[in-house]
Amino acid sequence: MTSWTPDSWRSHPIQQQPRYDDPVAVEGALDTVRQLPPLVAAGEVDALRERLARASEGRAFVLQGGDCAESFADCTGAPIEARLKILLQMSLVLTWGARMPVVRVGRMAGQYAKPRSSDTEIVDGVEMASYRGDHVNGVEADVEARRPDPQRLVRAYFHSAATMNYARALLDGGFADLNHPQAWDLRFVRNASRRAQYEEMVARILDALEFVQAVGVHELEPLRTVELFSSHEALLLAYEQAHTVEVGGRWYNLGAHMLWIGNRTRQLDGAHIEYARGIENPIGIKVGPGLSGDDLIALLDRVEPTNRAGRVTLISRFGAEKIRAGLPPLIERVQAEGRDVVWSCDPMHGNTTKTASGRKTRNVNAIMDELAGAFDTHDAAGSTLAGVHFELTGEDVTECIGGPQELREDDLERSYQTLVDPRLNYAQSLELAFRIALRLQQRRAG
C-alpha cells in the first residue's frame, strides 16, 4: 500500500464533487479555512474512539443523530436547542433501557454538504445545478443561486464554529442537568396503552434521578452535564484536507470528531476511502445492498488494517424489506475475519419513498421494522447492534408518515421543511427511543 499524505486522495478517482467556475477562488477560500482555529481537539477525537471501543465490546450504546442537511439559516439558538433537547432525552431513555453509557454523536456543526444522484436537475423547464447543501450552493430554484460558490466553504466553517460553540455553552451551562430534566409531554402519543407504557417508563426514570439526588450525589459531574461529539459526512475532500493537521506524529481532521463515508463514495480505490485511511478520527462506513463480504473486508483492510477497536463503525442501511437477508452475510464475514467494529443501524435511507405528489417521505413503521430486523439479525448471529443513526430534528415538522401522531400523506404539507431528505420529528424520535429502550431491556434480561 502506498504511503499516505493529507493530499494523496487527489491521485484517486473522486465522486460527488461540485464544479466550481474559479479554482483560484476555491484555493483562496480553503487557505482561509486552513488558517482558522480547529473546531475540535485531538484529545476529544481520541476520547470518542475510546468510547466507541467500549461500544464494540457491548459496554456502551451509540446514538448518532441530527439534521439530514444543516442550513446556515438554522444556525440560531432555538433550532440548536431543539436538536440538543431531543438527543439528550433520547439518550436518557436509552441509558435507562440499556443500563449502560450512551455515546452521543450529533450530525451537527458541519453537516452542510450532501451527495446527489445527478449534477443537474430541471426546475420549471430550466436546467440548473442540483442543490448540494449550503456548503456548496443555495437551495433556491435559481440558476445563479445554484452556482457553486467558493465563499460558502468559509461560511460553513463559521457556522460550524458557531453551532459548536453554542452547543458547548449550553451543556457547560446546565442545559443537560439531569436534576432539572426537560418537560416530558407525551400527549403526542395517540395510542392510549402505548402512552401509558411510556409514561410509566418516564416516571421510573425521574424517580431514579430523584433517588440519586436524595442520597446526596447530585453534585456528581455526570448528573450536571454530558459529552456530545460532532460528526458529518466526509464529502468535500478539499475542505476536509484544510482541517487536517499533524498532532504528536499522527494526522487528525479537527473539523469534527467523527466522519463517515456514504454509499456513493465508498469505492475501494476512490479518493474518499484513501483520505479516511490516514486520519485518526473514527470513521463510519455505510453498508447496504450490493456490498459483498469480500468487498467489506477489503474496505476494512484499507481503512483500518491494524484492527483498532473504535476506529470503524459499520452503519447498515438496507431498508426494511432487505435487511434480514442482506445483513447476515456481512456480520458472518466480519466475525470470521475477527474484525473489531462497531455495528450501527441507519433505518432511514433504505426506507425513503415518494408520495403521489412527488414528496420524499419515510414511514415510521418501516423504520421500526428495519431496526427490529437489525436487532434480530445481530442477536441470531451472536453479534451486538451497538448503535443507531437517525436523521431527526427536535421540531414539530411533518416529513415522515406514521409514528405516535399517526401522520398521513396529507399531513406532510403542514410543516415540510427539510432541504433534502425527510427527518423524524420530536414525537417520532422520542417514540423510537422508547421502542429501542424496550428492546435493550429485553436484551439485558435475556
pLDDT at position 177 is 62
List of domains in the chain:
8-176+225-445 (3.20.20.70)
Note the pLDDT tens digit of each residue in 52-106. 999 999 999 999 999 999 999 999 999 999 999 899 889 988 988 889 999 999 9
Nearest-5° Cα angle at 345, 176 to 268? 120
Measured over the CA atoms of residue 168, residue 170, residue 172 and residue 176, the dihedral's sign is negative
pLDDT at position 85 is 87
CA distance 274 to 268: 8
pTM, to two decimals: 0.94
Name the residue with cell 454523536: 105
Mean pLDDT of 308-320: 98
**Residue 78, exposed/middle/buried by CB under 10 A (0-12, 13-18, 19+)?**
exposed
- Work out the pLDDT band at 223, boundaries 50, 70, 90: very low
Percent of the chain with pLDDT over 70: 93
Note the pLDDT tens digit of each residue in 19-29. 999 999 999 99
pLDDT at position 198 is 75
Residue 181 clears pLDDT 50, i.e. is over it = no
Note the pLDDT tens digit of each residue in 331-377. 999 999 999 999 999 999 999 999 998 999 999 999 999 999 999 99
Residue 172 clears pLDDT 60, i.e. is over it = yes
pLDDT at position 224 is 52
pLDDT at position 113 is 97
- Work out the pLDDT band at 173, boundaries 50, 70, 90: confident
pLDDT at position 200 is 81
> What cell was used for 430?
422520542
- Work out the pLDDT band at 199, boundaries 50, 70, 90: confident
